[in-house]
């Protein structure tokens, strides 16, 4: 039962519950007109304490396409936060006005804290370098579409595995499926955190700094940008930002049916020439993000 639940990290939902959301997303994709009024008279609060384009827009578009309405801010300086209000007071107040809340915040654990005090469902739209569960729903729906199943894959994740919250959420969600192997490709300085590796079976992952060497093994290549905003030193960021660049030459070594994913925004880590490769699915992935958020909102509001 998903009605009234929060979504703070993807592993809070069982595989069956995730499948319920994906099933509804499939139905919405097939017949969006059947859902265009389902959220009539419902209000979503969108609290973005950190910049966002696709996550905010895809939530807004999702709610509007369901016939609901959206209020909120994308610049905390325009809200009472600027007057020194605590997150606890903000969420108690706002959840009196709306039916569901989406929050993005630079500090890890914020969504969880807000969920504790909220009177309505809270969705974590990214908390610092920690988790980004709705990106993971997007990613799983994309994999399920292109690969027909979430089992039996070798997933290579490449880039900033230390600060990349989409990576942390994806690995936490995918390791629960059968026969999933991970290849973690990153510079030494940006390796995947220990607490994520500790969740995995010892033989189920491999770490490397060399994309060329392993690209041929991957069924899915998940690229990510170096997370500039999480670096203390700009010099360190500049040193690492172009460590990996996926080019058409590199793609020659990849399987014919491999897919390339990216949560976006892309900075420099995928050359634009790769966009026309049929294996590059990242822009379609962004579209799945809106549909899966539509399904999530309907489920948490118990409207189906």
Q: Which residues of this chain interact with ligand NCD, rule CB under 6 A?
A: 54-55, 126, 132, 135, 165-166, 224-225, 263-264
Nearer to ligand NCD, 55 or 142 (CB): 55
Residues whose CB is less than 8 angstroms from the CB of residue 146 and which lie 6 or more positions away in sequence, other chains included? 259, 281
Catalytic residue check, 55: yes
On the question of a cis peptide bond just before residue 125, with omega within 30 degrees of 0, the verdict is: no
Nearest approach, Cβ of residue 287 and ligand NCD (Å):
13
Question: 3-state DSSP call for residue 44?
Answer: strand
- Give the separation between CA 113 and CA 199, rounded to whole angstroms: 24
Residue 248 CB, nearest distance to ligand NCD (Å)? 23
132 carries an active-site annotation: yes
Is the C-alpha dihedral spanning 276, 277, 282, 285 positive or negative? Answer: positive
Catalytic residue chosen out of the listed positions 42, 105, 130, 132: 132
Instruction: Output 5 or 54, the one with its CB closest to ligand NCD.
Output: 54
Distance in Å, CB of 3 to ligand NCD, minimum: 26
Q: Which of 54, 112, 255, 279 is catalytic?
A: 54
Render 67-119 in DSSP notation, one character per residue: T-EEEEES-GGGSGGGGT--HHHHHHHHTTT-SEEEEEESSTTHHHHHHHH-S
- Closer residue to ligand NCD, CB minimum distance, 48 or 146: 48
Residue 101 tokens, joined: 């809340």
Annotated catalytic residue 54? yes
The span from the CA of 190 to the CA of 129, in Å, is 12
Instruction: Give me the catalytic one of 42, 104, 165, 168.
Output: 104
Active site residue 293: no
Q: What is the DSSP letter of 131?
A: B
Closer by beta carbon to ligand NCD, 95 or else 164: 164
CB of 107 to ligand NCD, least distance (A): 14
163 versus 205: smaller Cβ distance to ligand NCD: 163
Residue 27 CA to residue 60 CA, distance in Å, equals 20
- Tokens matching residue 174: 């995918």
> Closest CB to ligand NCD among 121 and 263?
263
Residue 230 is a catalytic residue:
no
- Return the structure tokens found at 53: 């384009």
Whether the CA torsion 26, 137, 14, 299 is positive or negative: it is negative
Residues designated as active site: 54-55, 83, 104, 132
């Amino acid at each position: 039962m998903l009605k009234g639940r929060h979504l703070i990290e993807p592993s809070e939902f069982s595989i069956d519950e995730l499948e319920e959301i994906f099933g509804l997303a499939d139905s919405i994709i097939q017949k969006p007109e059947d859902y265009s009024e389902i959220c009539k008279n419902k209000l979503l609060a969108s609290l973005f304490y950190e910049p966002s384009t696709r996550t905010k827009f895809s939530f807004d578009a999702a709610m509007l396409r369901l016939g609901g309405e959206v209020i909120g801010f994308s610049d905390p300086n325009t809200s009472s936060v600027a007057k020194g209000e605590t997150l606890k007071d903000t969420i108690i107040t706002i959840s009196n006005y709306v039916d569901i809340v989406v929050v993005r915040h630079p500090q890890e654990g914020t969504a969880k804290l807000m969920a504790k005090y909220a009177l309505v469902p809270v969705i974590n739209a990214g908390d610092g370098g920690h988790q980004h569960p709705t990106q993971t729903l997007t990613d799983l729906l994309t994999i399920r579409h292109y690969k027909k199943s979430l089992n039996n894959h070798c997933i290579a994740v490449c880039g900033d595995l230390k600060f990349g919250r989409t990576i942390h959420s994806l690995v936490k969600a995918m390791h629960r499926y059968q026969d999933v192997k991970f290849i973690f490709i990153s510079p030494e300085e940006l390796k995947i955190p220990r607490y994520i590796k500790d969740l995995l079976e010892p033989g189920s992952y491999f770490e490397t700094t060399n994309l060329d060497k392993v690209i041929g093994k991957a069924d899915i290549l998940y690229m990510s940008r170096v997370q500039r905003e999480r670096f203390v030193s700009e010099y360190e960021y500049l040193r690492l930002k172009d460590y990996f660049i996926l080019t058409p030459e590199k793609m020659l070594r990849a399987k014919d049916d491999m897919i390339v994913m990216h949560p976006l925004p892309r900075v420099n880590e995928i050359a634009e020439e790769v966009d026309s490769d049929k294996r590059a699915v990242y822009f379609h992935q962004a579209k799945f993000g809106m549909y899966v958020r539509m399904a999530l909102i309907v489920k948490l509001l118990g409207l189906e």
